[in-house]
Amino acid sequence: MRNWGYINNAGMNDFRLFAQQSQDTIEQMMLVNVAYPLQLIQDVIPYMSDSQPSQIINIGSTFGSIGYPGYVSYCASKFALRGATEALAREYCQTAIRFRYFSPRATNTSMNNPDVIEMNIKMGTKVDSPEFVAQELYQFLQTDRQSYQVGYPEKVFVKLNQLMPSRVAAAIQKDLDTIYEYADQSKASFIQQTSAS
């Protein structure tokens, strides 16, 4: 059991087709989801003891392990955070400082705009309550595991994506028309303008 530590839970996303995402949004997402957490970790490490148990937990996402259409920049940022956590865990493995990664799946929070909520319902995507995710995080804190993925079939998909990414790509491709329907912001604006007139 770790004596103390902290949890990095900063994050932002922007569900839309990559070609329609602004460069400012891409940059901001990389700063909030990757650069700022890493800078904070760098600032905190000197205050952590090499001999007294402590830990830093980075909150990631299933999309930090599976590239998903409509979330290109978000996936890139969470892949980076997951990779950094893994690298830090290995770099500090001879100390008492632990670096761990907790990966929720779709969660019912204000980060999801109405299009995402509607799309998840249409595709039958399992969406967890914040309370359930908090309970899963609490259970993770009671273990010494380096990483944890919340939920099925996400646990299976993450492993399958490592071993046979073409299988996961084929499964996602079946939903591509629905994803495009909701991620295409030019179409969404057209629909909103038409219904308003």
Q: C-alpha 106: how far from its chain's center?
A: 9
Q: How many domains does the chain have?
A: 1
> What is residue 195's predicted lDDT score, i.e. its pLDDT?
41
Give this prediction's pTM.
0.89
DSSP state string for 28-97: HHHIIIIIHHHHHHHHHGGGS-SSS-EEEEEE--GGGTS--TT-HHHHHHHHHHHHHHHHHHHHTTTSSE
Q: Give the structural domain span for 75.
A: 4-196
61-91 tens-digit pLDDT: 999 999 999 999 999 999 999 999 999 999 9
Residue 166: is its pLDDT beyond 70?
yes
Q: What is the CATH number of the domain that holds 44?
A: 3.40.50.720
Distances from the Cα of 193 to the Cα of 131, 139, 196, 197, angstroms: 37, 47, 5, 6
